[in-house]
Structure formats: C-alpha cells, structure tokens
Structure 1
C-alpha cells in the first residue's frame, strides 16, 4: 500500500500522538518513556515554540489511517558554530515499515527549505539506532561524524551527526510557491 502522507501543524489536540510514541520500545534510544507530566510539558512546548516561530512540529497523517501515525518537525539550534535546524521524528510502532517516516521527513525538509531561514537541517540519531541512521541516509542527509551528545539532558550518548543542505530544495521552487504554508 502506498498511502498519501500529509503533515499537519501541531495542535492542542495532539497529545495522543506523543502518548502513542511513549512506549519502552519507541523510546529505547531516547532515554525511556516520559511521565504523563513530561508529555504534557512537551505538548505545551511544541505549541509555544510554534507560536514563537522557533520550531515547526507536525503530526503525520496517512490516508488509510484514522489517527496520526507519528510526528516530525524541526527547530532552531546551533551546531558547529552555525545556526541550523535540528530535525526529529517518531512513527508509532504499529505504523512502522510502511515508508511513512521517509515521506514525512522529506516533506518536513521541503517545508524548512521553503519557509525557513537556515541553510542546514541536522539530525543526531544514536550510533546504535540503525533505523534512524538509515532514514537519514535514504532521505539525503550526509554523514558528518560521530559526536558525544546528551539526551535526555544529563544522559551522555554517542550519536551520528547528519546534515541536509536545504539549498537544492529551495532551487526547485519558484518565488510564488514559497508563499505557500502548510
């Protein structure tokens, strides 16, 4: 099945998307499940950062599914002394293996290219997270190096640093298309 995938701006009704991804299996590479209080704080943070223009978080919808299958987004950060976006994603376990992550991440990068103000998007999957590292490579991120990282804060991990140059995507769009928003 090749479902159409679409991104929808994060709303106050999207806490269940976070809850579906908050399982031991889904958070193996992210320090484990969060408490209900932490999820509520993350939900509020997604909404606040969108309003402030600091991040763009989306739910991922597939035509064949009634509920959102996951989330994807990007936020402002610094890496290698440069202003960049960092990307993150999550596809609920029961929806994995159907190509939703790659299609959603490509759409998210397209959004960042058209509406964003930075040249690069970076991602930092743990070195042992084969699925996320494979996703980065398949979508066109370039491997840069292994790095020390903390996630969650205070939890040292080793990650692969990947970057995606948005310039090529920007060249594909005319100025009129750049006025479009999701």
Structure 2
C-alpha cells in the first residue's frame, strides 16, 4: 500500500509536536534537546513561517493518511485514522555564495521505518516546485546519521560530498551536502540549467 501523507501549515496547536520532537531520541543528531525558552521561540518562528509569502519557506505538520482503502484491520500499522507523525519544512539560506533553500524533517519514533519521511519530503519538494523561487533545495544530515542520508537518496537528492556544517549555530560537525534541483521555479519563470 502506498504511503500517503498530507502537509498542514504549522499552527499554534502544534506545540505538542514540537515538544515530542525535542525529546533526546529525536535530537541526538541535532545537538540535544533545546531549553523551554528556545522551544517557545521556535514555535513562534514556525507559526510566523505560515504567515509569510510561500516562496520564503514553510514549516508543516506531517499527517499520515493511514486509512486502509480495502477496509483491512490495520495490520499495516494503521488504525484507520489520520495521525500527526512529524514535521517537514524549508527555509531560505545562502550556501556557498548562492541563494538556496534548506530542508529539514523529523518523524516521531513510533512512526519511523514506514517511508513517512520520504513521503513528506517528496510532498515538500512538490510544494517548492509550485511556490519556490530558488533553484535548489539542500539538506545537511550528519555523516553519522544513515537514516536521514537514506531519506535524501530515496527522495531524489544528489550527494555533493562531505562538508563541515554548523548546527546548532557555533557547533560544526561533518555532514553530507545533499542537493535537489528544482525542475521549474514559478516566480520569475526561471528554469534552472545543468
């Protein structure tokens, strides 16, 4: 059965999900959990992203559309209802002197291993193709994070090699630079070449 997800713009009701994503198991490759004040600031930033012009970036709650169309008993992990399973988003940044987007995602532990991160990232890339203004999306998972690197590969990103990447700010660690070339950028009618 195809893994289907829907992206919902981040809202004030999604703070519980941000708290779940701040647990040690979810932040092991991101410098560890953030203190409460930083988490509240992150919530405000995510909500503000939903109010900006779409090409500036967005944060989304990932909803697994888990209904089994054949009426099965849910043995595939579905209980027949949609479930909020994580987040995915993109934002503007400069990388190696060029304006690009950066993407990030996280799927809650109990939903991992079902292809949901790949499905969410694929939906996000469709959104970027429709609304974006930059010709590429980059992701920078640590070299020690095979699952996130596999998500990039399966979503169609190209690995450009190893780089030192700062996250959290001020903390550099070895990462892979994955790039997804956006087919068509709507704003300005730009079609990237080569």
Q: Displacement of 1:87 after TM fit?
A: 0.2
* 2:62/2:84 contact within 8 Å kept: yes
Q: Which runs of 5+ in 1 are unaligned?
A: 174-182
Normalising by structure 1, we get a TM-score of 0.87
**Which structure has the larger Rg over C-alpha atoms?**
2
Q: Does 1:105 align with 2:107?
A: no
Q: Which residue of 1 aligns with 2:40?
A: 40
Normalising by structure 2, we get a TM-score of 0.82
Q: Displacement of 1:120 after TM fit?
A: 0.2
User: In the aligned structure 2, how far is the partner of 1:50 from the partner of 1:79?
Assistant: 23
Q: Secondary structure at the match of 1:34?
A: coil
Q: Displacement of 1:32 after TM fit?
A: 0.4
Q: Does 1:148 align with 2:150?
A: no
User: In the aligned structure 1, how far is the partner of 2:179 from the partner of 2:4?
Assistant: 26
Q: Secondary structure at the match of 1:118?
A: coil
* 1:46/1:55 contact within 8 Å kept: no
Q: Which residue of 1 aligns with 2:18?
A: 18
Q: Displacement of 1:33 after TM fit?
A: 0.8
Q: Displacement of 1:154 after TM fit?
A: 1.6
Q: What CA deviation, in whole Å up to 9, does each residue of 1:111-157 have, x standing for no partner?
A: 00111101100000011110001110111100112111111112121
Pick aligned residue for 1:158 from 174, 189, 192: 174
* Equivalenced residues, count: 170
